[in-house]
Structure 1
Amino acid sequence: MATAAKPATYSLSLPTFIMITSAVLISIRTFPLQALVGWQTIAFNALAIILYLIPASLVSAELATGWPKEGGVYVWVKEAFGEQCGFVAIWLQWFQMTIGFIGILTFIAGTAAYLFNPALADSKIFIFAVVVGVWWGATLLNLQGLKTYARWTTLFVILGAFIPMIVLIGGGILYIWSGHPVLIPLIPSAKDLVPRFSDAGDLVLLITFVFFFIGIEVSAAHANEMKNPNRDYPIAILVVGVIMAVTSVIGGLVVAWIVPVKDLSLIAGIMQSFQVVFGPGLSWITPVVGVLIIVGAVGEVIAWVLGPVRGLSVAARDGLLPAVFQKENKQGVPTALMFLQAVLVTFWGAVFVVLPGGVSAGFWALFALTTSVYIVMYFFMYAAAIRLRYTQPDTPRKFRIPGGKLGMWLMAGWGIVAAAFIFVISLLPPTQVKEDPLPFELFMIIGTIVVCLIPIAIYRFRKTNWKQIAVIPLPVA
């Protein structure tokens, strides 16, 4: 069976790749959650950076520059442990996204509701309609290929993330500078800075901050399209990590200074913040900024739609999924997998609608399940980095974690220990879930086990005819 000719590759420059990675990770929607803990946001962000960002970014930088092939985590784990483990890892990275993006899509719905009819923010039917409409729209846009993907994600992250972020932080500081009262101290005491892990529910808030940074390795799926991946990938990861850490802390503090925590909405909190900053005199600006925020969140969706699915597509071409899921269009986009992905997001949107306890409880349940599933993938990634130092020590790596094998053991080993800690606390219900915790815990445990077993079952029962072999025509005599 002859395979279709591959389209000409589109090269990603360093600035473009930084914008794509920013679209994957950076969002103003995180500020209300950051604001919930006030000055403690510094400690929570620091813990998230230590527990997750440092090991994940450094390990993925070495792996991506050593194996800069299309496929990302699938290729890395496959090189270390074989096809089955590689398939499980990429499946988890991909599948968790179909769950986790319900939170981002509900943020889009909540912001839109705040602009037109705030009562709709508590309507699950309205939120479900937005979830389905935005994801399917982003899917259709991504079918146009990598060039279109890069253009739109760059535009959307500038308009919808960086501009509103600058306006909110700058406007909030001017609001305070002009003499308006602040709701938490401008200068913190030592007590204000220290997190109060008084019970397991408060400890779970750490998961929120870790989740903000999760996905630093996702853009590695596009490393093969970079002009100079060995040099540019580590630079891009460093730049985005620094920007994200700084803006998260400052943005969260600004919201905490100007919006009462008791009135702060997790979904529409950003719009509440802009309403305070602009006041009645400039109230017409709030809807404009709201539209930009929606644009930014949609850009984040667009960036993820064509992220992990590209790695899964490489696994499919290796014969780990039926032939129907190996189909690509003329732009090299895996069409069947993209539509399967959209169907799964629609399914999880429906689950969100039927979960008991209101919008907040449903958000937290799906959010936590996303984290626990994703953490399992990181176990594979860290273990692969260690093993490849032994099995393929001479493979060129433009970026290499210093300290030789010991350095890798310390960094990736710390990543494994931290991931295990995060995994355990992700199984506990947060304080925002007020109902009986048992259904939440059962949902988390059973959901994580089922998601992990699915790729193992697919691999075990795969068919030999799933592997499509290209037929090279013989030269004509």
Structure 2
Amino acid sequence: MSESVQKPGKPQVKKVLGVFSLAMINVAAVLSIRNFPSMAIYGWSCIGWYLLGTIFFLIPITFAGAELATGWPQGGGVYTWVKQAFGEKSGFIALFCEWSNNLVWFPTALSFIASTLAFALTPQLASSPWYMFTVMMVAFWGTTAVAYFGEDFSAKFGNFGAIVGSIIPAVLIILLGVLWVVMGAPLAIPHFSVSAMIPQISLSTIPFFSTIILLFAGMEMAGFHALEVKNPQTDFPKAMGLSTLIILFCTVFGTLAISFAVPVEKLNLASGVMQAIQYFFTTMGIAWLIAPIAILITVGGVALLASWLIGPAKGLAVVAEEGNMPPMFDHTNKYGAPVGVLITQALIGSLISLLYVFLPSVNQAYWILSAMTVELLCIVYVLVFASLIKLRYSQPDTPRPYKIPGGITGVWLVGGLGVIGVVFAFIVGLIPPNYYPNAAEYVLGVLLGTVLLAGPPLVFLKVKKPSWLPSEKTVESGEV
């Protein structure tokens, strides 16, 4: 759709996003301090793990996203890219997998927000299901309300959240880590050596590879906002480069800073990011900073939630606009926000969060649900990397203001590395945790759930009706 073309009955899309705003969309979607303690367990070898994730995912998705977004900046993100390469059905499946994975992931993000905020009040609140659910719902519906007011308002909120809630806390942790070393305080990890950076690959650590790959998931989020970008052909590649540098710097050095000061026994998923930071700050004699940093990280968690909440929702609205879903999903307000999708996902996410908080038995099943989010995202990214390669053959003459260097060889190298990394992550994502009682049940549950969450597009396309098409709706409503 060109800038001058507007769908009947749709508000005019405003070009409000520049390089900085686009970069912050990716930073907000990817950079998460909650990952620092779980990665700091590995000490210097976290560098090697991050390097694997960078080679097999971050660099490929950054290059792929820049080329695809500048070649097909019509909006819809992964839906548009995959549709151009493999058709409507594949594009719909890719987009729906990214959206449905969110429905399972939302309670995890919301519980992180609520438990982190508890450290600014009193940590004991995190054990109260009513406190957890109340804060989770305020954050969820509050973020949905922000998305309701359109791209300009959402972008400003996202910029603020990414800077205040992710970049500033990460930089503060890095500076404290530097201060720790300068002061000559004892390091909680062995002295540096090149061999210490090499990850220990074994049967127990191989499943961790899928976690590393998807630590950088979300770098394609800016692509969903293509219609609101002032100069997509020049702004996208610049934004991808800037966000990559920010994410890598904050992630690597923030993780190392925590590993310098906090003993390994304090670093695990169960203790959480704030307990590690509490130990870090108390040891340094600045315990008064715990509450302010908790508030900042809470803001960062909300910004992370907002990026994943609005991006795939906008893509799903594009699918509905083309007549592939019922009209309720195509409903947008005067700000251009896809309110039909936003309300639907908020209701489903709220129900799952309610079960997650108040039914302990659900928590055990949630390990399977969490694994399903990995598998669903792997499906998305395999299709994206395959589309990158396919479109160089099927649409070689489509203008691409940013093209991956090296011609076809460069595209195969980037896309091939991405496919290898994501396929391997999908396979190891099926390996059950040591503490899960029944391995066969785990694998079957993950595969069955993945199929159920990836399959609805096939149903929608099978039963779709002529009345779902925009032209039909326009005629019926009397709009011109």
**Matching residue of 1:383:** 386
Give the counterpart letter for 1:460 in structure 2: K
Give the counterpart letter for 2:102 in structure 1: M
- Report the CA distance between 1:104 and its aligned residue: 2.2
1:409 to 412, 420, 426: 412
* Partner Cα separation in structure 2 for residue 202 and residue 430 of structure 1: 11
Matched, 1:302 2:302: no
8 Å CA contact retained: 1:97, 1:370: yes
With 255-264 and 143-152 compared, the bigger mean Cα shift is at 255-264
Number of aligned positions between the proteins = 470
8 Å CA contact retained: 1:34, 1:249: no
| Structure 2 CA distance for partners of 1:115 and 1:438, relative to 1, 3 Å | farther
* Partner Cα separation in structure 1 for residue 389 and residue 131 of structure 2: 47
* Partner Cα separation in structure 1 for residue 459 and residue 423 of structure 2: 24
**Matching residue of 1:230:** 233
- Report the CA distance between 1:45 and its aligned residue: 0.6
**Matching residue of 1:57:** 62
Within 5 A, what are the aligned runs for 1:134-283?
134-188=139-193, 190=195, 192-199=196-203, 201-266=204-269, 268-279=272-283, 281-283=285-287
8 Å CA contact retained: 2:167, 2:250: no
8 Å CA contact retained: 2:36, 2:254: yes
**Matching residue of 1:420:** 423
* Partner Cα separation in structure 2 for residue 229 and residue 411 of structure 1: 22
**Matching residue of 2:73:** 68
**Matching residue of 1:93:** 98
Aligned residue for 1:294, secondary structure, equals helix
| Structure 2 CA distance for partners of 1:136 and 1:264, relative to 1, 3 Å | same
* Partner Cα separation in structure 2 for residue 210 and residue 129 of structure 1: 32
- Report the CA distance between 1:381 and its aligned residue: 1.5
Matched, 1:442 2:447: no
8 Å CA contact retained: 2:8, 2:479: no
* Partner Cα separation in structure 2 for residue 167 and residue 337 of structure 1: 37
8 Å CA contact retained: 1:34, 1:248: no
With 446-455 and 143-152 compared, the bigger mean Cα shift is at 446-455
1:286 to 278, 290, 293: 290
8 Å CA contact retained: 1:204, 1:426: yes
* Partner Cα separation in structure 2 for residue 353 and residue 8 of structure 1: 39
Give the counterpart letter for 1:342 in structure 2: A
| Structure 2 CA distance for partners of 1:252 and 1:87, relative to 1, 3 Å | same
Aligned residue for 2:185, secondary structure, equals coil
* Partner Cα separation in structure 2 for residue 179 and residue 362 of structure 1: 46
8 Å CA contact retained: 2:258, 2:280: no
- Report the CA distance between 1:122 and its aligned residue: 4.8
**Matching residue of 1:24:** 29
- Report the CA distance between 1:133 and its aligned residue: 2.8
Aligned residue for 1:377, secondary structure, equals helix
| Structure 2 CA distance for partners of 1:86 and 1:456, relative to 1, 3 Å | same
Aligned residue for 1:150, secondary structure, equals helix
* Partner Cα separation in structure 2 for residue 124 and residue 428 of structure 1: 31
* Partner Cα separation in structure 1 for residue 368 and residue 117 of structure 2: 23
**Matching residue of 2:376:** 373
- Report the CA distance between 1:390 and its aligned residue: 2.1
Structure 1 unpaired stretches of 5+ = none
Give the counterpart letter for 1:153 in structure 2: G
Alignment deviations for residues 174-229 of structure 1 (CA, whole Å, 9 cap, x no partner): 13432322211242362x32222221x42111222222101111211112221211
Q: TM-score, normalised by structure 2?
A: 0.91
Give the counterpart letter for 2:311 in structure 1: G
8 Å CA contact retained: 1:40, 1:195: yes
1:466 to 435, 456, 468: 468
Matched, 1:311 2:344: no
* Partner Cα separation in structure 2 for residue 287 and residue 20 of structure 1: 26
**Matching residue of 2:350:** 346
Aligned residue for 2:371, secondary structure, equals helix
Alignment deviations for residues 96-147 of structure 1 (CA, whole Å, 9 cap, x no partner): 1222233322221221233334344455554444333311110011101111
* Partner Cα separation in structure 2 for residue 122 and residue 211 of structure 1: 29
8 Å CA contact retained: 2:221, 2:307: no
Aligned residue for 1:269, secondary structure, equals helix
* Partner Cα separation in structure 2 for residue 473 and residue 357 of structure 1: 52
Aligned residue for 1:209, secondary structure, equals helix
- Report the CA distance between 1:279 and its aligned residue: 4.3
* Partner Cα separation in structure 1 for residue 153 and residue 66 of structure 2: 25
With 375-384 and 463-472 compared, the bigger mean Cα shift is at 463-472
8 Å CA contact retained: 1:357, 1:435: no
Matched, 1:37 2:39: no
Structure 2 unpaired stretches of 5+ = 1-6
* Partner Cα separation in structure 2 for residue 357 and residue 209 of structure 1: 28
| Structure 2 CA distance for partners of 1:18 and 1:184, relative to 1, 3 Å | same
Q: TM-score, normalised by structure 1?
A: 0.91
2:401 to 398, 402, 405: 398
- Report the CA distance between 1:362 and its aligned residue: 6.3
* Partner Cα separation in structure 2 for residue 26 and residue 185 of structure 1: 27
- Report the CA distance between 1:338 and its aligned residue: 0.4
| Structure 2 CA distance for partners of 1:85 and 1:139, relative to 1, 3 Å | same
2:333 to 313, 316, 329: 329
* Partner Cα separation in structure 2 for residue 8 and residue 198 of structure 1: 51
| Structure 2 CA distance for partners of 1:328 and 1:261, relative to 1, 3 Å | same
**Matching residue of 2:4:** none
8 Å CA contact retained: 2:213, 2:422: no
**Matching residue of 2:457:** 455
| Structure 2 CA distance for partners of 1:77 and 1:290, relative to 1, 3 Å | same
8 Å CA contact retained: 1:28, 1:161: yes
Aligned residue for 2:29, secondary structure, equals helix
